[in-house]
Amino acid sequence: MEPILKARGLVKRYGKVTAINRSDFDLMPGEILAVIGDNGAGKSSIVKALCGAVIPDEGEIWLEGKKVSFSSPIDARNVGIETVYQTLAMSPALSIADNMFMGRELRKPGFMGKWLRKLDRPAMEKFARQKLSELGLTTIQSINQAVESLSGGQRQGVAVARAAAFGSKVIILDEPTAALGVKESRKVLELIQDVRSRGIPIILISHNMPHVFEVADRIHIHRLGRRLAVIDPREHSMSDAVAYMTGAQVPEGIAA
C-alpha cells in the first residue's frame, strides 16, 4: 500500500543545533500512527516539517504519491492537513469561538452575511460550546472568555476541538492530552478512534505509553533527530518501546 504521507531524508538545522537529521516518515491511509521519543528527539520538528510550519533544509515530501512542498501551514491546511501544535497556536486575546473558527469563520445567512459579511457569532459560540462539552470541558464558565484566561487544559481542549472539527485528510496531534485531566484525555482518545473510524488517518505524538499502545496501529520511534524504527504495538511491549526510544536497547531486525 502507498503511504498517504511520505517523507525521505528530511534535514533541519538551526545554527549549530540539529533538529531533524536525515529522517524518513510514512503514514498509511486510515491508520493511527503514534510517534514516540525522548524530549527533544525531534518529534515536533518532523511533524512541523510535514505540515508546512517548518521548511526543511533538505529532503522531500509526498502526499498521496504526489510531491509537495508547503511554504506555509496554510498550504497544508488547504489540502486537508489539520494540526494541533504543541504550542497550541492560539491568539491569546481573542475569545474561544474566535480561535476555533480562525480562518474559516461562519457568516450570517442572507443580506447581512453576504453583503455586510457579518459573522454569525451565536452560531459559532453554540458550536464551540458543544464541541467543548463533547470533550468533557464543562468547567469553562463563559464562552466569551479570552483564551489567555483559560486554564492550561482548557486551552489545549480548545485546540484539539478545532482540529478534530475541521480536519479532512490527515490530522496531526502533537501531545494533545499533555495538559488534560483523566476525563478529558479519555474523551480525546475516544475522539481519535472516532475520527479513524471515519477513515481519516491520524499522527499522534504522545508520551503516554498506555494510551499509545491502546490506540496506535503502528508506532514510529524517533531518536536523535531521525526515525529509529517503526514497530507494531501487538508485537512489542511497552518496555521494548521505551528501551528503544531511550537508547537502552537497539531494535533488531527492523529497518529504520
Ligand X SMILES: Nc1ncnc2c1ncn2[C@@H]1O[C@H](COP(=O)(O)OP(=O)(O)OP(=O)(O)O)[C@@H](O)[C@H]1O
List residues near other proteins by CB under 8 A: 13-16, 18, 21, 40, 53, 72-74, 77, 83, 85, 87-94, 98-99, 102-105, 107, 116-119, 121, 129, 133, 136, 138-141, 182-183, 185-187, 209-210, 213, 224-225, 233, 237-239, 241-243, 246-249
CB nearer its own copies, residue 6 or residue 211: 211
CB nearer ligand X, residue 14 or residue 69: 14
How many residues make contact with Mg ion (CB under 5 A)? 4
Grid cell listed for 20: 531533524
44 binds Mg ion (CB under 5 A): yes
Minimum distance from CB of 67 to other proteins (Å)? 23
3-state secondary structure the chain: CCCCEEEEEEEEEECCEEEEEEEEEEECCCCEEEEEECCCCCHHHHHHHHCCCCCCCEEEEEECCEEECCCCHHHHHHCCEEEECCCCCCCCCCEHHHHHCCCCCCECCHHHHHCCCCECHHHHHHHHHHHHHHCCCCCCCCCCCEHHHCCHHHHHHHHHHHHHHHCCCEEEEECCCCCCCHHHHHHHHHHHHHHHHCCCCEEEECCCHHHHHHHCCEEEEEECCEEEEEECCCCCCHHHHHHHHHCCCCCCCCCC
Q: Indicate the residue type of 40.
A: G
Of 94-133, binders to its own copies (CB under 8 A) are: none
Among 32, 34, 36, 41, binds ligand X (CB under 6 A): 41
19 binds ligand X (CB under 6 A): yes
45 binds ligand X (CB under 6 A): yes
Among 130, 145, 193, 249, binds its own copies (CB under 8 A): 145
Grid cell listed for 145: 472568555
Of 52-71, binders to ligand X (CB under 6 A) are: none
**Interaction site with ligand X (CB under 6 A):** 14, 17, 19, 37, 39-45, 86, 139-141, 145, 149-154, 179, 181
Q: Which residues bind its own copies (CB under 8 A)?
A: 14, 16-18, 37-41, 44-45, 86-87, 136-142, 145, 149-154, 157, 175, 178-185, 207, 209, 224, 242, 245-246
